Structure 1
């Protein structure tokens, strides 16, 4: 018997050129390999149609996201209101196939009574109201801060209202599972690890030649982390420090120029980024938010040497034993000084293999997802 599945994606999940695309795209690949007939529905706002997706999906449809003032609502969060589509609703009502909603962003149909008896699975990418509250703390822009705080307030009410309407919720982290259980009293939630392009540890033994921070540098939180590292951690350490990622600001570049040990690599290709991750002696990745899962950290753990993080990056996470954890600038300095000339060993690779490879196994996780979708019994 053929298994058909609608997947509603908050964005076009290809090309896979930043962390947010990993789970979206590699889930398609794994489900396709498991024999699932995928009917993909994408909200498009700049990436355009991608023929690559047709290799993994029985059908692919695109819907314009209502960006700017067209997407604002007094009642719904912007990330949800801008993705409401009557065309999408009509297409989903043409059959009775189960529906996987990728993110709170795509969950507006859960408020529609016509889907009340439909099998709907909500993939939770973050506890969004907490994420937006933390974005507000990371920006210096008054306009952005007000927007993030307003969105956070709407999201808290919205997430509480729709939390019990999905058949089941699949969170990317155990921490997000516990948050939904304690804050919203949700019972129909379980952890499903993210899908990744790598299933085996490829970290190299030995010593690398620099420290690396990487991420989307146009995101306020990432810029804040990079500048903090330049000014508070690498200000006195005689170690070469590289900040690499998408669209760095002039403010960040100036901070690196003032430093005697830092440089910025703007908009590296995917191959260049992976080459830097593998060659670095230390991947240093503090975070200023503690929701969801840090895909750039998983990339570094699968492909890099020593990883240094703060508590927020690995809070309540089973991957923390594979990381060196600092609590402030001074402890980060001490850890970097200890690790900079310390070879990365086979014992550390073995530890990562034991911690990461069983959890982030795309084939196994696709089977678990299929069980959730096509069987009533759900184990958490």
Structure 2
């Protein structure tokens, strides 16, 4: 097994405070624990240099992202064209160590031939063209909608050019999509690297239902609105929406009924407390993309979890969730589980399932084997 690895990250992966960088940061930690010398390369555009990363890496380098018109290209997706740095490509070519590119975002050096190595893998965080296509559907700004649609078209063409590289998908669905759409025969599933190591779900019963997420994200706002208008409009069970920066219209809607409310910008401790005290977590998604960190958080920390196909299909945790794909099914499952105790047996079953799929050390070993 190689004992050195270059990782090229689309963003600075600390603090680990959103889905994509969580996977990168805990991957770096797991590799460090395995004895791998990680040479980390980060595109930096607002998060700053982070000394914490030096605890787990042999070296850390930062490169400016070419934002705005500087990163614009007629041929390449903006998320790729804006991450180009000659010094980075020189450093990657200076030794024989394998390279892991985090997301298609960081692969500019492959398309222009600047990186000439053979032992390369791409960590797929989403089927990006489909992700941008879905984002465009939820955008209310016509300019943003047009941008998302244009980026989706460029990404579909670009992603097809990566089919001959080793692809390590964060979800089974993304792996299958690359195999079917792009004939990427060297594509395989590598589960997400996560902060949780033990299931801390409390047994017994809570007294409210919880939805949580970054509420400034259009998809999450739409999901919370859908739950309030289509599910809890008639279901008289306490419902809490919690998350970052909720828009005023969502706050007003959450306060429309006495049994619904919103907790804006909870700190980490407060959010963890809400997650552990809730009786039911409702986590429908408006679109399918990778694997949602909030789903794994709910499974590791919470009691009963209800989700739809878009949220759980291809994640490997389907057995730990109750499926509900429309308001009627959602109301039924909430009512049923709100009165159902969460037991020691439930904890043990969930722990077995999650530890089998999301074991950081085992997955780090799988990654290094893939780069042999």
User: Is the TM-score greater than 0.5?
Assistant: yes
Alpha carbons 1:18, 1:216 under 8 Å: kept: no
Aligned residue number for residue 194 of structure 1:
192
Indicate whether 1:366 and 2:372 are aligned.
Answer: no
**Deviations 1:132-170 (CA, angstroms, capped at 9, x unpaired):** 111112222222211111111110000001221x2x110
Q: Aligned with 2:274: secondary structure?
A: helix
- 5+ residue gaps in structure 1? 376-380
- 5+ residue gaps in structure 2? none
Aligned residue number for residue 240 of structure 1:
238
Aligned residue number for residue 39 of structure 1:
39
Structure 1 stretch 76-85 or stretch 123-132: which is displaced more?
Answer: 76-85
Alpha carbons 1:231, 1:259 under 8 Å: kept: no
Distance 1:187 1:259 in 2: 52
Distance 1:17 1:265 in 2: 18
**Deviations 1:72-111 (CA, angstroms, capped at 9, x unpaired):** 2111111111111122112222222111100011111111
Following TM superposition, where does structure 1 have runs of at least 4 consecutive aligned residues deviating by more than 3 angstroms? none
Q: Aligned with 2:213: secondary structure?
A: strand
Aligned residue number for residue 211 of structure 1:
209
**Deviations 1:272-297 (CA, angstroms, capped at 9, x unpaired):** 21121111111111001112112110
Structure 1 residue 355: Cα displacement = 1.5
Q: How many residues align?
A: 372
Structure 1 residue 2: Cα displacement = 7.0
Structure 1 residue 308: Cα displacement = 0.7
Aligned residue number for residue 378 of structure 1:
none
Structure 1 residue 237: Cα displacement = 1.6
Aligned residue number for residue 271 of structure 1:
269
**Deviations 1:285-335 (CA, angstroms, capped at 9, x unpaired):** 100111211211011011100101111111234311111111111211111
TM-score normalised over the length of structure 2: 0.96
Alpha carbons 2:2, 2:368 under 8 Å: kept: no
Aligned residue number for residue 135 of structure 1:
135
Distance 1:328 1:33 in 2: 43
Structure 1 stretch 268-277 or stretch 121-130: which is displaced more?
Answer: 268-277
TM-score normalised over the length of structure 1: 0.94
Please list, as runs of the form range in 1=range in 2, the aligned pairs for 1:184-333 lying within 5 A after superposition.
184-333=182-331
Q: Aligned with 2:38: secondary structure?
A: strand
Distance 1:174 1:358 in 2: 15
Distance 2:159 2:363 in 1: 25
**Deviations 1:244-299 (CA, angstroms, capped at 9, x unpaired):** 11221122212212233222222222222112111111111100111211211011
Distance 1:161 1:17 in 2: 31
Distance 1:318 1:29 in 2: 23
Q: Aligned with 1:170: secondary structure?
A: strand
Structural RMSD (CA): 1.5
Alpha carbons 1:208, 1:280 under 8 Å: kept: yes
**Deviations 1:320-370 (CA, angstroms, capped at 9, x unpaired):** 111111111121111111111221122222221222111100111111111
